[in-house]
Amino acid sequence: MTVLKKLEIDQRARGLIFDLDGTIADTMPIHYIAYRTILRKLGVEMTPGFFLTMAGMPAHMTIYKINEVFGTSLDPDLFGQMKEEEYERNMKLMKPIDPVVDLIREYHGKLPMAVGTGGYQRLAWKSLEILGLKDFFSVVVSSDDVQNHKPHPETFLKCAERMGVEPRFCQVFEDGRLGLEAAASAGMMVTDVTAYYEVTIGREF
């Protein structure tokens, strides 16, 4: 990962909301390799480009998309469990996304902060623990907590509600198209963090 410039908050912000994968934690390569490893056993080759189109989707929606594009008939529950087990085996390899983590450390205790992720609650907390950030957040809204996933704004609106901050005063930090759309739909300030770092999705560990 190459840091391009320092991340700043909007002067109007009274609460900060962060996506997790690809925003706080450099986990996208690990997710990609988990999907690719399992799909290759089925004779399906997933490219990094295709994987990035699904950034922000919860696992079951990703699997529906894979079935649609590749003509497979993967069971979302079974395949999702296999993928998460493969991912969890490699979680220890994740790295922080430095400009975002620097911002979290700078504003910890100064502004309310929350995580709004399309991932599972248990793995979200595990990611934060690996990065040494578990104590920096009291609010984590995951795919387990909402009925409507990104690009629907429910994830971020729940974050705002639990922080006690009006949506218009929340600044969302995101890397995925679906998350950026969700934050805009919620009426929040939006920052695309991909302008602040470079990462190679297809890299090996």
Which among 50, 68, 91 is the end of a domain? 91
Query: CB 91: neighbour CB atoms within 10 A?
Result: 16
- CATH value at residue 73: 1.10.150
Element (H, E) at 25: strand 25-26
Between CA 32 and CA 46 the distance in angstroms is 8
User: Global pTM?
Assistant: 0.85
Residue 55 has pLDDT above 90, yes or no: no
Q: Which two tokens stand for residue 64?
A: 């529906």
Name the nearest CA neighbour of 117 among 57, 166, 74, 65.
57
Between CA 187 and CA 153 the distance in angstroms is 9
Least confident segment among 3-7, 41-45, 76-80, 151-155: 3-7
Query: Edge-to-edge strand order for the sheet containing 139-141?
Result: 139-141, 113-116, 15-18, 170-174, 189-192
- pLDDT value for 197: 82
Between CA 87 and CA 91 the distance in angstroms is 6
Per the structure, the count of domains in the chain is: 2
Between CA 196 and CA 200 the distance in angstroms is 14
Cβ atoms 132, 104 nearer than 8 A: no
**Residue 173 forms part of a structural domain:** yes
Q: Which two tokens stand for residue 78?
A: 């079974």
Query: CB 109: neighbour CB atoms within 10 A?
Result: 9
- CATH value at residue 180: 3.40.50.1000
Q: Given 10, 19, 26, 102, which residue is catalytic?
A: 19
Q: Which two tokens stand for residue 185?
A: 């739909």
Q: pLDDT tens digits for 104-148?
A: 999 999 999 999 999 889 999 999 999 999 999 999 999 999 999
How many C-alpha atoms does 9 have within 13 Å on its Cβ side?
26
99 and 10 co-located in one domain = yes
Name the nearest CA neighbour of 46 among 79, 85, 6, 81.
79
Name the nearest CA neighbour of 9 among 113, 147, 80, 126.
113
- The residue range of the domain holding 65 is 28-91
Q: Using DSSP, state whether 196 is helix, strand or coil.
A: coil
Residue 2 has pLDDT above 90, yes or no: no
185 and 100 co-located in one domain = yes
Q: Which two tokens stand for residue 149?
A: 């996933």
Residue 21 appears among annotated catalytic residues: no
Residue 54 has pLDDT above 90, yes or no: no
132 and 38 co-located in one domain = no
- pLDDT value for 129: 97
Between CA 189 and CA 205 the distance in angstroms is 35
